[in-house]
Amino acid sequence: MIVYNDRGSLSKALLPFRLHKKIGLIPTMGALHNGHLALVKQALEDNDCVVVSIFVNPTQFDKEADLIKYPRNLNLDVNLLATLEGTILIYAPEAIQLYHGNISSNNYSFGNIENEMEGKYRKGHFDGVGTVVNLLLRDVEPNSAYFGEKDFQQLQIVRKLVEIEKLAVEIVGCPIVREESGLAMSSRNKRLSAVQLEAATLINKTLLEVQQKFQHLSISKCNALVEERFLKNNHLTLEYFEVANVKTLKTAKHKFSNKDYRAFIAVFAGQVRLIDNIALN
């Protein structure tokens, strides 16, 4: 499996696929797990060639410490991708090259969804994500690009990005992949101790409880229920829990029968920040 470090050599390798063939892209920051592999498998089914980009994007981290601690192991990632059947190219560019010499974010307006939830707690995060996804989409020029619903807000941001940047690419959202314990798969799980891993199962359990009770509980009661569950846990700290309108991602205070809602959560296990979400109706 070949790792391409620059857009020139990647473009050459993609030439035979440009006419009459389909190219899929999975943007990742590496530390690949089965959640990523599910995206790659979906992309391999839909396309003739799949590019997996591996790039830890500095502009989307609001905390330097988080960027430094982000797990990186290109060899492991390559070996994992090599277990799959199909044409996979790995694109692992240098930051300075990918960013055309200027490693900074564009200022985007994504119709206000950038200011909700993750946007409130991680300043500048979505500008960084938008900037790097735009750069990757322009380097690879895929027919479709795949994103997991674990980062549901990011998926909606990317959909807006392609409208803003007028990019001819289909954005495909894929379901969250979970451990047997229910914990959503994430590269950050690698940083959890055994005790934290066990404790973190409360995240999905609580979301499932809210989903089950949503029809009969007011939103403020759902919020109170979640706060209580996390207050009782010594290993986890709730950063936010929100029921939000699926379209606008605005916090919902009251339910309306003609609207779709999703619950979103962010939790700290020690220094490790975990997010998850679930459809409610």
Residue length of the chain: 281
Size of site (CB under 6 A) for ligand PAF = 10
* Closest alpha carbon to 99 in 70, 68, 67, 132: 132
Q: For tokens 């899929």, name the residue.
A: 24
Whose tokens are 């609207």? That residue is 259
Site string for ligand PAF, 60-89 (x = CB under 6 A): x-----------------------------
Rounded-to-integer distance, Cα 236 and Cα 196, Å? 8
Classify the C-alpha dihedral 9-13-18-19 as positive or negative. positive
Q: Considering the rule CB under 6 A, would residue 183 count as an interface residue with ligand PAF?
A: no
**What tokens does 196 get?**
């934290």
28 lies in the site for ligand PAF, by CB under 6 A: yes
Please give the Cα distance from 200 to 44 (Å, whole number). Answer: 32
Give catalytic status of residue 33 as yes or no.
Answer: no
Interface positions, 127-146, toward ligand PAF (CB under 6 A): 129, 132-133
* Annotated active-site residue in 36, 100, 216, 254: 36
Smallest distance, ligand PAF to C-beta of residue 91, A: 11
Q: Which of 57, 144, 206, 223 binds ligand PAF (CB under 6 A)?
A: 57
Shortest reach from residue 66's CB to ligand PAF, in Å: 12
Residue 132 or residue 269: which is nearer to ligand PAF going by CB?
Answer: 132
Nearest residue (CB) to ligand PAF, 183 versus 185: 185
Query: In whole angstroms, how close is the CB of 36 to ligand PAF at the nearest point?
Result: 8
Q: Return the range that interacts with ligand PAF (CB under 6 A); candidates 27-35, 37-45, 62-70, 273-281.
A: 27-35
Instruction: Determine, following the binding rule CB under 6 A, whether residue 29 of this chain makes contact with ligand PAF.
Output: yes
Phi, psi of 147 (to 5 degrees): -135, 145
Between residues 28 and 105, which has the closer beta carbon with respect to ligand PAF? 28
- Distance (Å, whole) CA 171 – CA 222: 32
| Residue 33 CB neighbour total at 10 angstroms | 17
Of 153 and 206, which has the nearer Cβ to ligand PAF?
A: 153
Does 169 help bind ligand PAF (rule: CB under 6 A)? no
Q: Assess 25 for contact with ligand PAF (CB under 6 A).
A: no
How far apart are the C-alpha atoms of 148 and 84, rounded to whole Å? 19
253: CB partners within 8 A, 6+ apart: 219, 220
Helix (H) or strand (E) holding 157: helix 152-164
Dihedral-angle region of residue 182 (phi above 0 means left; psi in -120 to 50 means alpha; beta otherwise): left
Question: Is residue 27 a contact point for ligand PAF (CB under 6 A)?
Answer: yes
Residue 150 or 262 having the CB closest to ligand PAF: 150
One-letter amino acid of 108: Y
To ligand PAF, the closest distance from the beta carbon of 165 in angstroms equals 15
Q: With respect to ligand PAF, which residue has the nearer C-beta, 199 or 275?
A: 275
In this structure, what token pair is assigned to residue 73? Answer: 């192991």
Which parts of this chain interact with ligand PAF (CB under 6 A)?
Answer: 27-29, 57, 60, 129, 132-133, 151, 154
| Residues designated catalytic | 36
